[in-house]
Structure 1
């Protein structure tokens, strides 16, 4: 009996756990999303419970936990699911046959009809009362079955009352456990959805604060020059100077917006075959004067690598410039910045190592967040855009750093076939 009961419990719990494992996180809502799949899984539970019962008394009684999926499905799925599960259970019980067939069909019919009527109440009460309710339904269904057997077959209830009591308690307990498991999954799903919504709102808040802060500076500068030109007369040379300054501020604001667009949208440029070594050399032509000014020596070690990737040249350059420039800025007293190219099929690795101040574990975790920077005048947009570009190019950026001992950026991209 115990082995059969354990099997029945497994048949009931397994589909619930399988659904939790394979259903998309954030969309696991029993019988609201994936209704057809869950109805099929619960139907399978009913069939398996009937095929492998845990107690048989003659031809009148076949004991199993088929009613548990029926009760749970009716409470969470409503009348339509209850009707389908009833048909599955009824057909299965008729196929098994025996003198107790009519009694079994009548019992599951009564459960399938009455339990959905309790669904509105069930959905309103808290978890404790839900457990009490499903426990009570499971026991009442077996009491109905016992009285029906006494009426149809004249079986004396007293002779097997102790067995009936054990069956009632076991069915009630298993039904309560199944309901508790579903409630726990739905509670976790609710918390996950709340967390995801909170993170989205927090991201929007970060973006709003960052955009307003960064755009306010050039706008206020332009506003100030316009006010000066309105209130005072200046020479033509002075006006041209003001115009140049305002154009510079407008360009800075436009670049800020462009950075945010790069982060928000997919790569819109033309994808072409890029030879990694040549692209890095072009970037270094641009950055070498700045590195020399900061007393930083850049060493490129390519090892004869001729690997190629598919990507947007402009965006790829922008990502490299952001990371290499950060490495240069991390060495205010000068130093050596090493760039190493490695081909590790089916990927190509670009390692950018500096001898700068390094970062703590907390700073590493926040790297790439909007409006976070280790530089006093940084906005964090450079690294945020770099991570976005790497993702758009199907690549990854991994960072290793230790305070006072420098930082190593490892960029990995799939090689072009």
Structure 2
């Protein structure tokens, strides 16, 4: 066993892979992990999940080298007391909270000038007579401004407090309201959207406003993936103690490679996409205590399944 460990260390040092490992950060590990560190200061917190015991150490690491090899590694360990551990964790939480509040404030402030710019652009657009070629430019600017505003709204959702007002919500009613809201968009793209519910009054525990945003995101995604004449079918049904909303399109589908990444932030295959829509959708559903999954293959359409707790 010792020979194997030595060989592993020799391979690491020979290839300088230790340089890509831990460096000047804090780490939380399980008690059975092997820690490999490069030179620098570290805080290592070891938690025993079974006994609930936490041990924390300030670690200083120095590597002694000659022109060819690493000769040895000198490690200084100093155990942190409970008060220091709590302070360190609280300090990091506070820094994270301040950063999020600052980001949310900046994003919110961006919305005000966007609103003003859009208002003046609309006035400018109306001042041009029908057929004026300049209307093409104002329409393009308005479209890009709306895209920027949508991105700002998505970023604001990420940074704002995620506290939700969970209450009993009639899921088919929310979906029906969204379909009516998006009817102009559906008609423009020559796409139909149908809703089927196995019974009236199927309720779930959710935040009504955020639930509406989820349905909007998924239907708009389906519209963008569909061709004129396609249908988007939505089914709501009970399955055991849960309620399922199934949103299915007849669009272009998603490859297996893309499926593995679609819920990651900023991942998008669209030219003008933000890569935040599905990331936000998953976060909202998780905040309800629900889940989302997707089934798709290239060229065969996509089905999203939203799973909620039944009330």
Deviation at 1:370, TM superposition (A): 2.3
Partner of 1:343: helix, strand, or coil? strand
Change (3 A) 1:237 1:269: farther
Task: Considering fraction of residues, name the structure with more helix.
Answer: 1
Q: Mark the structure with the bigger radius of gyration.
A: 1
Partner residue, 1:299: 194
Change (3 A) 1:372 1:351: same
Cα deviation, 1:308-350, whole Å, max 9, x if unaligned, reads 1122211111110110111111113331111011111311000
Contact 2:268 2:274 in 1 (8 A): yes
Q: In 2, distance between residues paired with 1:372 and 1:305?
A: 37
Cα deviation, 1:69-128, whole Å, max 9, x if unaligned, reads xxxxxxx99xxxxxxxxxxxxxxxxxxxxxxxxxxxxxxxxxxxxxxxxxx9xx999xxx
Query: Which of the residues 292, 296, 308 maps onto 1:397?
Result: 292
- Show the 5 A alignment for 1:264-283: 264-283=159-178
Deviation at 1:373, TM superposition (A): 2.2
Deviation at 1:268, TM superposition (A): 3.7
2:231 equivalent to 1:328: no
Q: In 1, distance between residues paired with 2:140 and 2:154?
A: 21
Query: Which of the residues 359, 368, 389 maps onto 2:254?
Result: 359
Q: In 1, distance between residues paired with 2:186 and 2:306?
A: 21
Partner residue, 1:370: 265
Structure 1 unaligned regions, length at least 5: 1-24, 41-75, 78-119, 131-207, 227-233
Partner residue, 2:214: 319
Partner residue, 1:340: 235
Change (3 A) 1:381 1:305: same
Partner of 1:366: helix, strand, or coil? coil
Change (3 A) 1:361 1:270: same
Partner residue, 1:26: 28
Q: In 2, distance between residues paired with 1:256 and 1:384?
A: 13
Normalized against structure 2, the TM-score is what? 0.56
Q: In 2, distance between residues paired with 1:250 and 1:333?
A: 26
Structure 2 unaligned regions, length at least 5: 1-26, 33-43, 65-70, 73-102, 129-134
Partner residue, 2:179: 284
Change (3 A) 1:388 1:302: same
Change (3 A) 1:258 1:305: same
Contact 1:343 1:349 in 2 (8 A): yes
Contact 1:394 1:413 in 2 (8 A): yes
Partner of 2:152: helix, strand, or coil? helix
TM-align CA RMSD: 4.6
